[in-house]
């Protein structure tokens, strides 16, 4: 494939393979399928080209026998529809059904049935582009009709449609690929968020959580002198033998802070310590 990383950049050639995505500026392209797209030209009954271009087919087996559906709503005087098969390497033995024996384009052949009528595309309802509803159409060509199926190959590239409905021509065969294009700019922020959440979970499992309540009020010491009384308590979620030692550390902290402010007599209500 020819790749340009950004506008104005130099083109470069890259290979796209199954399970080997192509990275273009942070966007990854995955190869999810491939097949053939025969180029078909349809001329309607009034002599105008109603359709010309590639028609994507769907491979149905390992030798790329591919189903084809073509809808031509712009044909006149009637809309046209075609269904059939593309055989990449066709073998057409007398008395047997035509088949492909190899996925390569050694002998491509189109075998189609044709219909005319209302394709149902003018009423605004969505349709599957790979399915042709023939219930409201009139058959012109098929293997079961008197006109037979349309068979186009390298020697016989075009065919006349019955009743002056026009012609159909097998112009060429192109290749196509199915791509899955993936761009995830939020991948790194999402990974960082995951790591942060995981670390937080680990911390919550292994770091002991405790609550502390502190209350200060005006009271009297053992000499009847007015002073500030400080009460505090600690609580753990479960049994924790370390609470006693931490209570003593809090006592030392309060005492140190009080002495730094020039207060020597610092009554503590130790009866509320837990």
- Tell me if 73 sits within 8 A of 95, measured CB to CB: no
Assign 274 a pLDDT band (cuts: 50, 70, 90).
very low
Residue 84, classed as helix, strand or coil, is strand
In a domain, 165, yes or no: yes
Residue 72 lies in a domain: yes
Q: Is the distance from CB of 138 to CB of 132 less than 8 angstroms?
A: no
Residues 6+ apart with CB under 8 A from 191: none
How far apart are the C-alpha atoms of 132 and 34, rounded to whole Å? 22
Digit-coded pLDDT (tens) for 207-256? 777 788 888 888 887 888 888 888 888 888 777 777 888 888 888 888 88
What does the pLDDT average to over 121-139? 89
Asked if 41 and 112 sit in the same domain, the reply is: yes
Residues 148, 240 within the same domain: no
**Is the residue at 55 inside a domain?**
yes
**Which structural domain, as residue segments, surrounds residue 240?**
210-272
Q: Where are the beta strands (DSSP E) in 206-258?
A: 210-220, 226-236
Report the distance separating Cα 77 and Cα 232, nearest Å. 96
Q: Select the more confidently predicted residue: 4 or 160.
A: 160
Answer yes or no: do 135 and 262 share one domain: no
Q: Write down which residue in 143, 165, 181 finishes a domain.
A: 181
Same domain, 104 and 144: yes
Structure confidence by residue, pLDDT tens digits, 76-103: 999 999 999 999 999 988 878 899 999 9
Same domain, 99 and 38: yes
Q: Report the mean per-residue pLDDT for the chain.
A: 88
List pLDDT tens digits, range 251-265.
Answer: 888 888 877 766 555
Query: Is pLDDT larger for residue 33 or for residue 271?
Result: 33
How many domains does one find in the chain?
A: 2
User: Do residues 100 and 92 make contact, with C-beta atoms less than 8 angstroms apart?
Assistant: no
Measured in degrees and rounded to the nearest 5, phi and psi for residue 252 equal: -65, -35
Give the residue from 166, 181, 196 where a domain finishes.
181
Mean pLDDT lowest for which of 12-26, 37-51, 146-160, 168-182? 12-26
Residue 49 pLDDT more than 80? Answer: yes
Q: Is 109 left (phi over 0), alpha (psi -120 to 50) or beta?
A: beta
Residues 153, 226, single domain; the answer is no
């Amino acid at each position: 494939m020819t790749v340009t990383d950004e506008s104005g950049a130099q083109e470069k050639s890259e290979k796209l393979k199954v399970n080997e995505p192509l990275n273009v500026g942070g966007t990854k392209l995955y190869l999810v399928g491939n097949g053939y797209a025969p180029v078909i030209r349809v001329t309607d009954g009034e002599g105008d080209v109603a359709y010309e271009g590639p028609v994507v087919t769907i491979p149905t087996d390992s030798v790329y026998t591919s189903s084809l559906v073509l809808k031509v709503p712009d044909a006149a005087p009637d809309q046209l529809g075609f269904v059939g098969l593309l055989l990449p390497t066709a073998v057409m033995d007398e008395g047997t059904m035509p088949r492909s024996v190899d996925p390569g384009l050694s002998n491509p052949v189109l075998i189609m049935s044709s219909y005319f009528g209302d394709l149902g595309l003018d009423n605004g309802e969505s349709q599957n582009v790979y399915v042709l509803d023939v219930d409201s159409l009139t058959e012109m060509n098929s293997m079961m009709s008197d006109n037979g199926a349309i068979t186009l190959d390298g020697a016989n590239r075009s065919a006349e449609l019955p009743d002056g409905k026009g012609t159909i021509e097998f112009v060429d065969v192109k290749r196509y690929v199915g791509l899955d294009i993936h761009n995830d700019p939020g991948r790194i922020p999402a990974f960082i968020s995951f790591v942060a959440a995981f670390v937080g979970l680990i911390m919550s499992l292994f770091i002991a959580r405790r609550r502390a309540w502190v209350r200060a009020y005006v009271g009297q010491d053992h000499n009847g002198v007015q002073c500030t009384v400080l009460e505090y308590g600690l609580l753990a979620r479960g049994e924790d033998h370390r609470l006693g030692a931490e209570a003593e550390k809090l006592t030392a902290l309060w005492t140190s802070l009080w002495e730094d402010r020039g207060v020597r007599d610092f009554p503590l209500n130790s009866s509320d310590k837990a």
